[in-house]
Structure 1
Amino acid sequence: MKDGPDIARLAALIGDPARANMLSALMTGSALTAGELAAEAGVTPQTASAHLVRLQQGGLLALRKQGRHRYFALKNEEVARVLEGLMGLAARSGHLRSRPGPRNLALRRARVCYNHLAGEMGTALYEALIGGGHVLVTDRTPVLSEAGKSLMRGFGIDVDALSRGRAPLCRECLDWSERRSHLSGSLGRAVFQKIRDLGWATSDQATRIVTFSTSGDRAFGDFVARAAGT
Structure 2
Amino acid sequence: MSLAETAALLADRTRAAFCLALFDGRAWTAGELARHAGVSASTASEQLSRLIAGGLLVEERQGRHRYVRLSGPAAAQLIENLAAFSPDAAAPATLRESTRRGAEARARTCYDHLAGQLGVRVAAAALARGLVTEEAGLALTDPGRRWFAELGVDLSAPRGSRPLLRTCLDWTERRHHLAGAAGAALCTSALDRRWVERIGSGRALTVTPAGRTAFRDALGLDLTVD
Tell me the TM-score normalised to structure 2 length. 0.86
Offset of 1:172 from its aligned partner?
A: 1.6
| Residue in structure 1 matching 2:41, options 26, 39, 45 | 45
Tell me, yes or no, if structure 1 residue 106 matches structure 2 residue 103.
yes
Q: Which runs of 5+ in 2 are unaligned?
A: 222-226
CA distance in 1, matches of 2:14, 2:200: 19
Tell me, yes or no, if structure 1 residue 144 matches structure 2 residue 140.
yes
CA distance in 2, matches of 1:57, 1:85: 21
CA distance in 2, matches of 1:101, 1:69: 32
| Residue in structure 2 matching 1:96, options 90, 99, 117 | 90
**Aligned match of 1:120:** 117
- CA 165–83 in structure 1, closer or farther in 2 if over 3 Å, else same: closer
Q: Is the 8 A contact 1:22 1:37 kept in 2?
A: yes
**Aligned match of 1:165:** 159
Once the two structures are superposed, residues 136-168 of structure 1 have per-residue CA deviations (whole angstroms, 9 ceiling, x without a partner) of: 2356x422121111011111111223xx33232
For these two proteins, the number of residue pairs brought into alignment is: 217
Q: Let me know the Cα RMSD of the aligned residues.
A: 2.2
**Aligned match of 2:205:** 210
Offset of 1:97 from its aligned partner?
A: 6.4
Q: Which runs of 5+ in 1 are unaligned?
A: none
**Aligned match of 1:85:** 81
CA distance in 2, matches of 1:137, 1:66: 44
Once the two structures are superposed, residues 116-146 of structure 1 have per-residue CA deviations (whole angstroms, 9 ceiling, x without a partner) of: 110111111112222222212356x422121
Offset of 1:216 from its aligned partner?
A: 1.6
Q: Is the 8 A contact 1:124 1:224 kept in 2?
A: no
**Aligned match of 2:224:** none
Q: Is the 8 A contact 1:118 1:182 kept in 2?
A: yes
Off by >4 Å, runs of 4+ in structure 1: none
Q: Is the 8 A contact 1:25 1:206 kept in 2?
A: no
CA distance in 1, matches of 2:180, 2:200: 20
Tell me, yes or no, if structure 1 residue 180 matches structure 2 residue 209.
no
Tell me, yes or no, if structure 1 residue 199 matches structure 2 residue 197.
no
Once the two structures are superposed, residues 5-41 of structure 1 have per-residue CA deviations (whole angstroms, 9 ceiling, x without a partner) of: 8443223211211111111110000011122222122
Secondary structure of the residue that 2:61 maps to in structure 1? strand
Letter in 2 for 1:210: L
Q: Is the 8 A contact 2:117 2:173 kept in 1?
A: yes
| Residue in structure 1 matching 2:22, options 26, 51, 72 | 26
Secondary structure of the residue that 2:133 maps to in structure 1? strand
Q: Is the 8 A contact 1:85 1:174 kept in 2?
A: yes
Once the two structures are superposed, residues 46-97 of structure 1 have per-residue CA deviations (whole angstroms, 9 ceiling, x without a partner) of: 111111111112121111234553311111112212222222223xx23336
Q: Is the 8 A contact 1:111 1:117 kept in 2?
A: yes
- Write out aligned runs for 1:34-73 (5 A): 34-73=30-69
- CA 126–94 in structure 1, closer or farther in 2 if over 3 Å, else same: closer
- CA 195–73 in structure 1, closer or farther in 2 if over 3 Å, else same: same
Tell me the TM-score normalised to structure 1 length. 0.85
